[in-house]
Amino acid sequence: MMRWGNIAWFLALALLLAFITAPDLFTFVFAPLTEHNAPPIYNQGSLLSLTLSHLLIVFGAAFASTIIAVSLGIFVTRPSGVEFLPLSRSLVNIGQTFPPIAVLAVAVPLVGFGETPTFIALFLYGLLPIFENTLSGITQVSPLTLEAAKGMGMSPRGRLFGVELPLALPVILAGIRLSIIINLGTATIGSTVAAKGLGEVIIAGLQSNNLAFVLQGGLVVALLAILIHGVLTRIERSASARLGGRGSESL
């Protein structure tokens, strides 16, 4: 029997797909929120296209953040890289130290308007949770397990890819999930520098004092967060189950 959580997930997916592909069907919901004959449904672009653009930049930045953060996490847990841990932490904290809007302000004069400065801001903002979870996952691997692997004749590289990373995977995935969910909302600010995304809907609503637009942009972002969180949580649980039930941890 399908659990209630699964039912809720599929209902959220159905609602999202219906809204971004045929938003006019929901006119009756948003019409009471408008004034002075303002349009109840966002009409300055395709919600489907904006949603896809939003997801593309979020997942693109998450992919880049994952490559760099996981690589750094591995490096500083090797004997040759331990002394670089403080420096690495300082680097990945840049995105959290400076608000994304400040990163955009610095990036725009250097790379221009559009998706690029938004990508840079999301990339920096997403580094910390992935790095810290990678570090946590690898350092929590039991020394006895590593000694047993060493006793079996496994090389340092073999222990890393055959023991440490597989055991740390649920924790690393939790960091990636956290990074993506945070950046789904953060990416809306990209529209302030002409990046295509759902922030465009929200900003249009704020500029025209149209609450319906604001809610539409917020609704799609919220549904995306619920759906993606559900998918990534399932992946984490699957990884944990393959490790004999070892639970994943997040920041």
Mean of the pLDDT values across residues 29-33? Answer: 90
Mean pLDDT of 31-38: 87
Tens digit of pLDDT for each residue in 36-53?
Answer: 888 999 988 899 999 999
pLDDT, one tens digit per residue, over 188-205 is: 998 888 888 999 999 999
Give 115-168 pLDDT, tens digit per residue: 899 999 999 999 999 999 999 999 998 888 888 888 888 888 888 888 899 999
DSSP collapsed to 3 states, 87-135: HHHHHHCHHHHCCHHHHHHHHHHHHCCCHHHHHHHHHHHHHHHHHHHHH
Mean pLDDT of the chain: 88
Domains annotated for the chain, with CATH where assigned, are 4-22+45-242 (1.10.3720.10)
Contact (CB, 8 A) for 215 and 30? yes
Q: What confidence category does residue 247 fall into, taking pLDDT thresholds of 50, 70 and 90? A: very low
Q: Indicate the length of the chain as a whole number.
A: 251
Q: What pLDDT is stored for residue 246 in this prediction?
A: 44
First to last CA, the chain: 33
**Is it the case that residue 101 has pLDDT exceeding 70?**
yes
Please choose, from the candidates 65, 111, 117, the residue with its C-alpha nearest in 3D space to the C-alpha of residue 91.
Answer: 65
Q: Give pLDDT tens digits for 203-246.
A: 999 998 999 999 999 999 999 999 999 999 999 988 888 876 44
- C-beta separation of 121 from 135 below 8 A: no
> What pTM value is reported for the model?
0.88
Contact (Cβ atoms closer than 8 angstroms) between residue 185 and residue 221: yes
